[in-house]
Amino acid sequence: MSQIGFFYRFISFLFLVGLVAVGGFIAYQAGISQGIAQAPDLAGAIQGAEAVSAPGYGYLNGLGYPSFFNLFGAICLSILFVFFFFGLVRFIFCSQRYGRPVGQMPDSNLNQVV
């Protein structure tokens, strides 16, 4: 892989990360502004409301049986995230496999006598 191609990939990756960060920052600031704008109305509504307590979920999470997906889903999704992360890293840095085009097989040196 040429150094110029790596440079452009790296710059593209940094640009993409920057765009995601700026988009997240703008969305966060918009949510804060909306919350500040709604604060007086919500404060008046909360003061006029009566206190009601809701029962807790407890062990059975409201469905009548224990939830197994919490631990199972966390393990499966974390493994999936790891695979996607390393796949993305491999795609960014190893698009050409060890300096050869992707479809080309390596030369065999087993038949050569030293």
Same domain for 35 and 69?
Answer: no
Residue 108 lies in a domain: no
When comparing pLDDT for 26 and 63, which is higher?
26
Contact by Cβ (8 Å): 12, 4: no
Same domain for 41 and 77?
Answer: no
* Vertex 65 angle, CA 62 and 69, to 5°: 90
Same domain for 25 and 64?
Answer: no
Residue 91 lies in a domain: yes
pLDDT in tens, 65-89: 566 666 777 788 889 999 998 888 8
| pTM listed for this prediction | 0.39
DSSP codes, 76-111: HHHHHHHHHHHHHHHHHH-SSGGGS-TTPPPPP-TT
Return the axis-axis angle of helices 69-93 and 3-48, rounded to nearest 10°.
150
Least confident span in 16-25, 52-61, 89-98: 52-61
Q: Report the number of distinct structural domains present in the chain.
A: 2
For residue 91, the enclosing domain spans 60-98
In this predicted structure, the answer to whether residue 24 has a pLDDT above a threshold of 90 is yes
Residue 51 lies in a domain: no
Q: What is the mean pLDDT of residues 99-110?
A: 54
Residue 90 lies in a domain: yes
